[in-house]
Structure formats: C-alpha cells, structure tokens
Amino acid sequence: MLMNKLNGNRYGKIKQTLSGMLIGAAVTLSGCASTGGVEQQVEANPVDPYEGFNRKMYVFNDTVDDYVAKPISDAYKFITPQFVQTGVFNFFNNLKNINIVLNDVLQAKFQQSAHDTGRFAINTTVGLAGLFDVAKQFGLEQNEEDFEQTLAVWGVPQGSYLVLPFLGPTTARGIPGSIFDTAANPVTYVGAPVQLVSMLNSRANAEGALKFIDEAALDPYVFTRESFLQWRHSLAADGKVDVSDDLLDFEEEALEDDVNATSGQTAAAEQDASGNTTNPKAFALKLSADNKEFEQVSNSFSSTAQSFDATAKSFEEASNKIDQLKFK
Amino acid sequence: MVLRSIKLALVLVWYFLATATAYAQEEGAATARQVVEKFQAELIEVMKNGKQLGYAGRYEKLKDPVSNSHDLTKIARIVVGKEWEKLSEDQQQNLVDVFSRLSIASYAHNFKEYSGESFVFDSEEETARGGVVVHSHLVVPGEKDVKFDYMLKEKGPSWRIINIIANGVSDLALKRSEYTAILQREGFDALIAKINEKIDNYSKQ
C-alpha cells in the first residue's frame, strides 16, 4: 500500500537523517547556490516565501540522496535479512516512545501517555529491548507525537516552510521541535556507530515514500511541500479532518465558476454576500473553538485518574495474553 | 389505552414510511455513502484479481467505476484553479481527457495486489454548502489503518466524489498546488506533457 507509505512517519525520519552535519552543508552550499538555474518569480506562496532558496536545497538534498544515501541504503537493504531490518526499525522506533510520552504529557493527553508508557514498557521488556513490537500484537498501536505538534497545540504559529540541507522539509516551528525531539532521544547520547545505523534505518524506511513521490509527482518539490505540510497539520489535529476549512474554498471556486459561466454580475454580487456572511461565522467558529479547548483541557485532567485505571487494565490484559502464550 | 393504540399506529406509520423511503433510495439515485461503498468494493475486487489482470486489465476494469463515481470534469477544473478560465475550449477538453486517464492509471498502478485489505465505513457528515463527507478507513493487515475521507457533491440525480483525503492529505489540494505551479512556471503544454509522462510510467510497471 503505497498510499500508506506516503503518509506515514517517513518524512519525519528523513528530517532526522544526518542531523549534525548542518555546518558542513553550509560550507558546500555557498558553491551550490551560485550555480542555480534560471529563476522565474511567480506568485509567491504565503507559506513558502523562500521558495527560491528552498528549491535549491531540495535539488541539493536530492542529489546527495541519489549519490550517497540511496546507494548505501540499497546496499543495506540488499545485505541485511528482512527480520534484522525489522528488528532494527523496531528498536529505534521503541526508543522514540520516550519522546512520545513526554509530548503526550505536554499536550495534556494523559490517557494516551499511559497507553504509550505501557507500549514502551512491554516492548522494552517482553519485546527484548524493543527488537520485537509485541505491544502491536496486543492492539497497542504507536501514536505519533513530537514537540512540533506540542507547539502547535500550544498555539505557536507554523511559520514558513523551509527545506534544510541534509535535514529536508521543516517549518519555522519544526526547528525547535526537532531540537527538542533530538534531545529527548537516547540515540543522541550514544556513539556514532549507533547513530549511523539509525540514519541508515531511517533512509531505508523512507524508500517507499520517496518512490511514491517519484512516481506520482509532476513537480516533486511542490508535491513534497504540500504533502509534508498537510501531513504535519493532520498530525497536529490528531487526524481530524476539518470539513469547513479548505474544502469550502474549492467548492466556492467551483460554484463561482458555474455562476461565471452564466452571468458575471451575479457572481460578483454573490461573492460580496458570501464575504459578508462568512466573517461573523468565522468569529463564532473561533469562539466555539476556544471553548472547546477549555473543555478539552478540563476533560483531560479529569481523565487522568481514568487513564491510570486503563493502564492497570492494559497491563493486566497483556499479562493474561502472555500467560496464554505460555500455555500454548 | 387509547393513547397506547395511537402510539402503536404512529409507530406503524413511521415504520412504513421508513421502509418506503429506504426502497425509494435503493431504486432511485444512490446516496453519497452508497457511491463510495460501491466504488470501494469495485476497487477491492480489482485488487483481488490484480495479478492476473495485469496493468492493462486493471485499467479496463477500473475505467467505469472511477468515471462513474468521481466527477472528473469538475476535479480537473478545480485542480487548475483560476487558470481554467485562461484555457481555450480545446485545451479544457484536452485537460479533462488526460486528467481522467491519469486518475484511472494511478488507481490501476497503486491498487495492484490484495493482501486482505478492506474498507470500513465510519461516519458521514454534511458540509455547509450541501456537500457530504464520507469518513472511512482502509484496514491493512499488519499495518496501521489508512484513513480515507471522501468529499462528494451532488451531480444530477447522483453523488460524485470530488476529493479524497488520505491520512489527512487532500488529493485535490495537493494536485492543485502542483498543477497551478506548473501552469504558471511552464505553461499548459508542459503540464499535459508531464501528465502523459506519468501515465506512461504507470503503464510500464
């Protein structure tokens, strides 16, 4: 299922790849930037004001990937048996749970933090230091949380889209996010060999997503930007689709087109009218959203106690299942 | 006692009306949910026979299901945004044709095999402007579920899909950014050439 791979956590991993080599990049880049091709300035996208720079970085990263990262990753995938690859993936994925739990708490998702703590505990013990994803078999799916999402929940604006050398797509909010996430990942504090394996694992797992982009994108730069931004947005909103948001624009535009075809004047009038009515509506929406936030926070506090119960229960269930396994 | 019999009569009438409308819906136009579920069933069916069918076979099998459930003309139009009005009638027709082929080709390419996947309906909601969003997810054994949200609009007697949001990524928004960027930077012919190139690549694999 390529669709799945496209939207998975792969971009985040690319982002983490080769971290710490930023300074080296800055040096090489000064040479790179001057050789950039013809630049056509088109309507600047409000989220991507540095498109000229970003496109150069994108090409740079792409080249590095083609000539360095992909060959090494292909070799790794060729040499290493599948079960070892899965084990390596599980191991690093499990370590990420520490950061996930931290961010659950920072976002006041206490029930979820209990779930993720349970997941980490089971996989670290029964799953032999995380090599086996036992928790998944028990129905404990991994949640995706990081500090960038936490900042989003706290109301920090996303800022401009940026493509960083070696690190790939991010946003202004994503930079402090990545710094926090890196600091909260144990891999950061062990030796370089482990970090190298971690990078290799990240690149190998991004293969599906990168292949999909290659196949589907007419303009890979725009495709990557849009899917990255939408994916991050969806994660911060915990997967909720905002029906009233961008879809309405499409509809409006389609509607406008229809009306335009018959008579231009009515279209203008309608637009005026709809413009007038949307404002108070938007305001009301915002108010209700604020209200909801308060409710959510108070709800989550009251659910803390419940979540402890839930953890106890999930541990109980897990141990029951382990018992059953033993009997088999 | 009288009250009770009235109540009973009311319940009966309500029951009758409910079944009557249900029948009417079945015979007449399909609801948004039915359109989506029919398409998903057809897609799964093609996936199950994916290997034997091959790319060309899948393309043929999916041609009608895709065109009948999606409003491809409207999608093609939204995807190029304001540039649509700048295109000549021939260009518009050309775009709709090529775009339709791309849509079918990408389904034929990406849904090529079956490993126990199934679609599950979650809920349905109406949008402010008379559209309907059908929330569903694809269950992939051994992997995380993939959320599929379909946005539908009424077209004539039936409903048609105009957008698919997979795990929070809107296909329409994605394509629109790409297509308008290419139209602005490189023009119409380049856009058509690029779409044709994609269709070619899909057919080769």
pLDDT band at B143 (very low <50, low <70, confident <90, very high): confident
The DSSP 8-state label assigned to residue B169 in this structure reads E
With a cut of 70, say whether residue B17 has pLDDT above it.
no
Taking the CA of residue B119 and the nearest CA in chain A, the distance in Å comes to 13
Question: Do A236 and A228 meet the contact criterion of CB atoms below 8 Å apart?
Answer: no
Contact B169 A7 (CB under 8 A): yes
> B82 or A2: which carries more pLDDT confidence?
B82
Q: What is the mean pLDDT of chain B?
A: 87
Q: Find which of A81-95, A244-258, A262-276 is predicted with most confidence, using mean pLDDT.
A: A81-95
Distance CA A185, CA A303 (A): 28
Check if A247 contacts B (Cβ < 8 Å): yes
Torsion angle defined by CA atoms of residues A144, A145, A151 and A154, in that order, rounded to the nearest 10 degrees = 100
Q: What is the mean pLDDT of chain A?
A: 74
Question: Do B152 and B132 meet the contact criterion of CB atoms below 8 Å apart?
Answer: yes
Question: For residue B1, what pLDDT is reported?
Answer: 52
Question: For residue A5, what pLDDT is reported?
Answer: 41
- Residue numbers of A between 309 and 328 with CB closer than 8 Å to B: none
> Which one of B107, B135, B149, B177 would you mutate to disrupt binding with A, by most A Cβ within 10 Å of its Cβ?
B177
Question: For residue A152, what pLDDT is reported?
Answer: 94
With a cut of 90, say whether residue A224 has pLDDT above it.
yes
Question: Do A95 and A135 meet the contact criterion of CB atoms below 8 Å apart?
Answer: no
Question: For residue A121, what pLDDT is reported?
Answer: 94
Q: Which residue type, as a one-letter code, is found at position A184?
A: A
Question: For residue A270, what pLDDT is reported?
Answer: 38
The mean per-residue pLDDT over the stretch A82-94 comes to 93
Contact A233 B202 (CB under 8 A): no
Residue of A nearest to B81 (CA): A253
Contacts of B73 in chain A (CB under 8 A): none
The mean per-residue pLDDT over the stretch A25-45 comes to 44
Distance CA A201, CA A178 (A): 18
Distance CA B157, CA A22 (A): 58
Question: For residue A241, what pLDDT is reported?
Answer: 74
Closest C-alpha to B143, from B118, B177, B109: B118
> A295 or B7: which carries more pLDDT confidence?
B7
Give percent above pLDDT 70 in chain A. 60
Check if A4 contacts B (Cβ < 8 Å): yes
- The Cβ of residue B113 has, within 10 Å, a number of other Cβ atoms equal to 11
Taking the CA of residue A90 and the nearest CA in chain B, the distance in Å comes to 13
The mean per-residue pLDDT over the stretch B39-59 comes to 93
Distance CA A211, CA A217 (A): 10
The total number of residues written for chain A in this structure: 328
Check if A291 contacts B (Cβ < 8 Å): no
Distance CA A143, CA A235 (A): 10
Check if A306 contacts B (Cβ < 8 Å): no
Q: Give the A:B interface size as CB pairs under 8 Å.
A: 129
Q: String of b and e for A77-115 (b: at least 16 CB within 10 Å)?
A: eeebeeeebebbbbbbbbbbbbbbbbbbbbbbbbbbbbb
With a cut of 80, say whether residue A90 has pLDDT above it.
yes
With a cut of 70, say whether residue A220 has pLDDT above it.
yes
What pLDDT, in 10s, does the model give residues A185-212? 999 998 888 999 999 999 998 998 898 9
Would you state the structure tokens that stand for residue B30, as one six-digit string?
């399909």
Distance CA A300, CA A294 (A): 10
With a cut of 90, say whether residue A22 has pLDDT above it.
no
What pLDDT, in 10s, does the model give residues A47-60? 999 999 999 999 99
The mean per-residue pLDDT over the stretch A291-309 comes to 47
With a cut of 50, say whether residue A7 has pLDDT above it.
no
R_g of chain B computed on alpha carbons: 21
Contact B182 A1 (CB under 8 A): no
Torsion angle defined by CA atoms of residues A39, A44, A48 and A51, in that order, rounded to the nearest 10 degrees = 0
Would you state the structure tokens that stand for residue A76, as one six-digit string?
């790794």
CA distances from A59 to A25, A92, A115, A282 (A): 13, 29, 41, 40
Residue of A nearest to B141 (CA): A1
One-character DSSP codes across A211-256 = HHHHHH-SSHHHHHHHHHHHHHHHHHTTT---TTSHHHHHHHHHHH
Kindly report the pTM of this predicted structure.
Answer: 0.71
Residue of A nearest to B151 (CA): A247
Would you state the structure tokens that stand for residue A227, as one six-digit string?
């899917």
Please name the residues in contact with B89: beta carbons below 8 A apart, sequence gap of 6 or more.
none
